[in-house]
Amino acid sequence: MRLGYETPEEILNVLPLIEKYPVKNIAIHARIGKQLYNGGVNLDGFQQCVDNTKLKLYYNGDITSVAQFHKMQERFPTIDHWMIGRGLIADPFLPSMIKNNSSEYPSNKMELFSDFHDTLYAGYSESLSGATHILLKMHHLWEYFSVIFSNPHKVHKKIKKAKSIRNYEQAVREIVKEG
Ligand SMILES: Cc1cc2nc3c(=O)[nH]c(=O)nc-3n(C[C@H](O)[C@H](O)[C@H](O)COP(=O)(O)O)c2cc1C
């Protein structure tokens, strides 16, 4: 859930209703709908939820680094579940780095990234129909993936230039090989 659509107080009317049902947990993205992804997360808004419900809450929003995770952990000491969206797509190593409390990448980073990519690519190739849809989905994901490479702009450009499945697969092989 977000905090609301128009205002971050909207959720405060909804939480008591949800409390009547056997809900295991709620992940709250600490923004309002109207914001889309603009502006910062509203941490006071999330705190209001923590203070006003017995439901188990997971924090979600803008966790993009180990340092940022620690900040959130300090800010919300009672929260013990965290959800990561874009930060994980951009850096699939982030969850393990958080768990190991380290900002160091594994030595086989590219091999692991390549497996991660191939798993997603295989899944989308199966569930989407037609090269155009698959490539569109993968091109979009590379906006996020490219940030773990030393030259994100060059990497993203190379992917965008690949207009066929064959060219796309070749481009990915080259990018991964170059690291
Ligand atoms: C491209 C994209 C697709 C998303 N699709 C879904 C979805 O299908 N269901 C959902 O509950 N949230 C979806 N979200 C929202 C994320 O789960 C998450 O709540 C949001 O991105 C905020 O977390 P973050 O700052 O860690 O990315 C999507 C977000 C993005 C950027």
Q: Is 91 in the pocket of ligand 1 (CB under 6 A)?
A: no
Q: Look up residue 39 and give its DSSP letter.
A: S
Q: Is 29 in the pocket of ligand 1 (CB under 6 A)?
A: yes
Most ligand 1 atoms within 8 A of CB, residue of 86, 124, 140 to mutate: 86
Same structural domain for residues 50 and 93? yes
β-strand partners of 2: 29
Q: Look up residue 98 and give its DSSP letter.
A: H
| % of the chain residues with pLDDT over 70 | 100
The CA distance from 109 to 152, in Å, is 16
Q: What is the pLDDT of residue 86?
A: 94
Same structural domain for residues 89 and 133? no
β-strand partners of 29: 2, 60
**Number of domains comprising the chain:** 2
Q: Is 42 in the pocket of ligand 1 (CB under 6 A)?
A: no
Q: What is the pLDDT of residue 144?
A: 94
Torsion (CA) 42, 64, 170, 173 in degrees, nearest 10: -170
Same structural domain for residues 47 and 87? yes
Which three-class secondary structure state does DSSP give residue 15? helix
Q: E-strand spans in the chain?
A: 2-4, 26-32, 57-60, 82-83
Give yes or no for a contact between 125 and 153, defined as CB atoms under 8 angstroms apart: no
Same structural domain for residues 46 and 9? yes
Q: How confident is the model at residue 179 (pLDDT cuts 50, 70, 90)?
A: confident
141 alpha carbon – ligand 1 mean position (Å): 13
Most ligand 1 atoms within 8 A of CB, residue of 60, 127, 137, 142 to mutate: 60
Q: Which of 65, 100, 135 is the C-terminal boundary of a domain?
A: 100
44-98 pLDDT, tens digit per residue, is: 999 999 999 999 999 999 999 999 999 999 999 999 999 999 999 999 999 999 9
**Whether the predicted model's global pTM rises above the 0.95 cut:** no
Same structural domain for residues 8 and 45? yes
**Tokens at residue 117, please?**
């990519």
β-strand partners of 58: 27
Close Cβ partners of 44 (under 8 Å, ≥ 6 residues apart): none
- CA 105 from centre of chain: 18
Same structural domain for residues 43 and 69? yes
Same structural domain for residues 74 and 25? yes
Q: How confident is the model at residue 137 (pLDDT cuts 50, 70, 90)?
A: very high
Q: Which of 69, 100, 131 is the C-terminal boundary of a domain?
A: 100
Neighbours of 93 (CB within 10 A): 19
Same structural domain for residues 95 and 120? no
User: Structural domain of residue 17, as residue ranges?
Assistant: 2-100
